Structure 1
Amino acid sequence: MALVDADGHILALAVVPANVQDRDTRPALDDGKEKWPSLRLALLDGAFTAERCREWCNLHGMRHRVVDKDPHQKGFVVLERRWLVERTFGWLSHWGGLHRERAGRLDVATGRLACVASLLAANALNNPA
C-alpha cells in the first residue's frame, strides 16, 4: 500500500502480509498523512469502496474519489490517475525494492522499501523535472 503525491513520489508505504486486504491497511498510512497535512484528495481504486475507507479520508480531512473502470470495458484502458501508483511500483521494482523478500519478514521488507524510497527521493532532488 502506498501514499503518493501527484507526481508519484512516495509519501508513505505500508508493508502487510499477503493475507490482508488493501482496504484494511489504511491505518498503516496514518503517519504518512500526518506528515503531509496538505493532502486534500484521495484517489482510490475499486478495492476501497468500503465505508471504512470513506471514514478514514474524512478523519484526515480529505475528500475521496473512487476511480472505477467502466463495467462495459473490454481490454486494457488507462484509468484516470491510477497509473501514477502503478508507475511508482514500477520504480520500486526497478530499484529492487519489490523483489520477494527471502527472509519472509515484514520488518526486513519495510526497511528495504524505505531504502529504495530514499534513493528515489534523492534521485528526484538530483534530477528535477
Structure 2
Amino acid sequence: MLASTESNAPSPSRDCLAHRFGNAADGPGRVRCYGSDLTDAEWQVIRPLLSVPAWFQGRGGRLEGYCHRVKLDAVRYVVDNGVKWVNLPVDFPPYRRVHAFARRWQVTGLLAEFHDRLRDRVREKEGRAVDPTAAIVDSQLLRAAANIPKQTSGWDGGKKVAGRKRHLAVDCLGLVLVVTVTAASVQDRDAAVPLLERLRRCYFSVRLVWADGGYAGRFVDWAAQKLRLTLDIVRRSDDTTGFVVLPRRWVVERTRSWLMRSRRLARDVETLPAMHEAMVLWSMTMLMGGRLAGRRTGAFSRPAPRAR
C-alpha cells in the first residue's frame, strides 16, 4: 500500500511517490487528452493499490524520474490503441522507459498483484466473497503477426489459422483468474492441464469448473482425481441452429469480447507469450478500475444475457 507520509501538498493528479519523494516533480506536467488516460476518480481508486517501490523502502534503486500515473497512462495507451511502443506520443516518457516499466511489473509479479487487488475490490463491490468457488474456462484463437517466433506459434487445422491461443479461466463475474498463451496447434485439453493446475494452486477455494465440449473425455476424470475439481461440461445440442446463449459459457465468452476491445489484444503481436498474458491483465485492470470509479464503460454497462 502507498505510504501515508505527507510532503509538500501536491495536486491530486501529481500525488504519486515519484512526485512527492522522487524526481518526477522536476519534469513538466502532462495534459491528459486521451480516452485511455486515468481519470481523477480512477486514480484515487487505484493509487492505494499500487506497490511501494524498492527505493522508497530503502532497498536500493534510483529515485524515479517519471510520474507513476503518467507511466500507467502510457501503458494503457499502448493496450487500448494497439500501437508499437516506439510510436508512443511525445507527451509520454521515452518509450524505452515505459516498456521497461511494463516489463519489470510483468517479471516481478507486481502486475499480477495489482490486477488481483482490483479484482478483489470488484468482487466485494458486487457482494461476492473475495475467494471464488467456481470458474469457467475457454480458449480464443488469435492470428499471429509476422514478428511472432515459429517456436511459440502454430497452425490450427480446424479453423485454418496460424497463430496462438489465449486460454482463460474466469470467475462467475467474468473477471480473469488465470491466463495462459500457447501455440494454436496445442489442443484445449492439453493446454487446460497447466491452466487448471495453476488455477488450483492460486485459488484453492475453486471446486467447480464449467467448460465446453472440447474439454470432455478423460480430462474430466483427470481433473477430479488429480486436482479434486468437478469439471462440468456444458454442451451445445446437435439440433441447435444459430446463436444460442449457453448456461455459464456466456460468461467467459463475454470476457473474450471485453479483451477484444483492446486493440493490442485483437491480434497477437507480442514476441513473448508471457508479455501477451501481461497485456490481458493490463486490459482487465483498465476495465476494473473504470468500474470501481463509476465510469461505466461499454464492457460493463451492457446487461448480461440470461442463461436458459
Report the TM-score range of the alignment, normalised by the length of the smaller protein.
Answer: 0.7 to 0.9
**Aligned residues with identical type, % of pairs:** 28
Match of 1:10 in 2: 176
**Root-mean-square deviation over aligned CA pairs:** 2.3
Give the structure 1 partner of residue 229 of structure 2: 62
User: Is the Cα–Cα contact under 8 Å of residues 23 and 53 in structure 1 kept in the other structure?
Assistant: no
Residue 122 in 1 paired to residue 289 in 2? yes
Q: Following the alignment from structure 2 to structure 1, what is the Cα–Cα distance between the partners of residues 246 and 226?
A: 27
Determine whether 1:98 maps to 2:268: no
Q: Secondary structure at the match of 2:228?
A: coil
State which of 32, 39, 62 in structure 1 corresponds to 2:199.
32
- TM-score by structure 1 length? 0.84
Distance in 1, matches of 2:175 and 2:203, equals 12
Change in Cα spacing, 1:123 to 1:56, as seen in structure 2 (3 Å) is farther
- In 2, are the aligned partners of 1:96 and 1:116 still within 8 Å (CA)? no
Per mean C-alpha deviation after superposition, the further-off stretch among 87-96 and 23-32 is 23-32
TM-score of the superposed pair, with normalisation by structure 2: 0.38
Instruction: Summarize the Cα distance change of 1:69–1:123 in structure 2 as closer, same or farther, 3 Å threshold.
Output: same
Counterparts of 1:103 and 1:97, CA distance in 2: 9
May I ask how many residue pairs the two structures share in their alignment?
A: 129
Shift of 1:118: 3.0
Q: What is the deviation of 1:6? A: 0.8
Deviation of 1:20 (Å): 0.8
The answer to whether the 8 Å contact 1:26/1:53 transfers is no
1:100 CA displacement: 1.2
Which whole-Å CA distance do the structure 1 matches of 2:215 and 2:183 have between them? Answer: 18
Give the conservation status (yes or no) of the 8 Å contact 1:42–1:65: yes
Distance 1:88 1:19 in 2: 23
Q: CA deviation at 1:35?
A: 1.4
Q: Deviations over 1:47-100 (max 9, x none)?
A: 001212431244222212111111111222111111100100111111335221
Find the aligned partners of 1:58 and 1:8 in 2 and give their Cα distance. 27
Q: Runs ≥4 in structure 1, deviation > 6 angstroms?
A: none
Distance 2:285 2:225 in 1: 29
List runs of 5+ in structure 1 lacking aligned partners. none
Cα distance change of structure 1 residues 67 and 3 upon mapping to structure 2, 3 Å threshold: same
| Per-residue deviation, residues 95-127 of structure 1 (Å, max 9, x unmatched) | 335221234432332221232233334344444
The answer to whether the 8 Å contact 2:223/2:230 transfers is no
Tell me if the contact between 2:220 and 2:230 (Cα under 8 Å) persists in the aligned partners.
no
For residues 82 and 37 of structure 1, the distance between their equivalents in structure 2, rounded to whole angstroms, comes to 22
Question: CA 1:111–1:58 in structure 2 vs 1: closer, same or farther (change >3 Å)?
Answer: same
Q: What SS does structure 2 have at the residue aligned with 1:25? A: helix
Give the drift of 1:22. 1.3
Unpaired stretches in structure 2, ≥5 consecutive residues: 1-166, 295-299, 301-308
| CA radius of gyration, larger in | 2
